[in-house]
Homo-oligomer: A and B are copies of this chain.
Amino acid sequence: MLGRLNHVALVVPDLQAACAHYRDVLGANVSAPQSLAEHGVTVAFIDVGNTKIELLEPFGEGSTILPFLAKNPSGGMHHVCYEVDDIRAARDQLIAGGARVLGDGEPRIGAHGKPVLFLHPKDFFGTLIELEQV
C-alpha cells in the first residue's frame, strides 16, 4: 500500500526567514510561498530532486498548526506524507489493521489538490502520517 514519500513537512515560525535561510545557507531550491486559506497554512516547497520538503507557517487564527507551534516555538518536524494509489482502499485496510484515521474518515482535498487522509500519530509511534492519492 505504502508508496513513495511525497513530502516531509516542517513547521516554521517565520516562513520568509526560513525560505531565505534554506536558500542562502543550504543552497536549496525554494519555491515562492503560497497562502492556502482553506488549509490554514502558507507553504513553500523545497525541491530536493527525489522528493519535496514543505515549509509550513500558520495562516489565519484557526490554523491547525498553531497548537504545534505553541508547543514548539522554534518550529519542528510536523508530518511525513506517503503516496497511495487508492486512498479509500488504503483507509479500509488501515482501519482493519486497527489504525485510526483523523476526522470523519472521509478523504478531503489536500494542499496539492488531491485526496488526503491523516493517521493518528499514537498509532504510528509518535509520527503524524498523511496519505495522498496520486
Contacts and interface: CB of A to CB of B under 8 A. Distances in A.
A48 interface: yes
Contacts of A75: 125-127
A49 B3 contact: yes
Interface string A40-75: 000000101111010000000000000000001011
Interface in A30-44: none
B126 A5 contact: no
Contact of A2 (B26, B94, B127): B26
Interface of A: 1-5, 8, 10-13, 18, 21-22, 24-29, 46, 48-51, 53, 72, 74-80, 82, 93-94, 97-99, 121-127
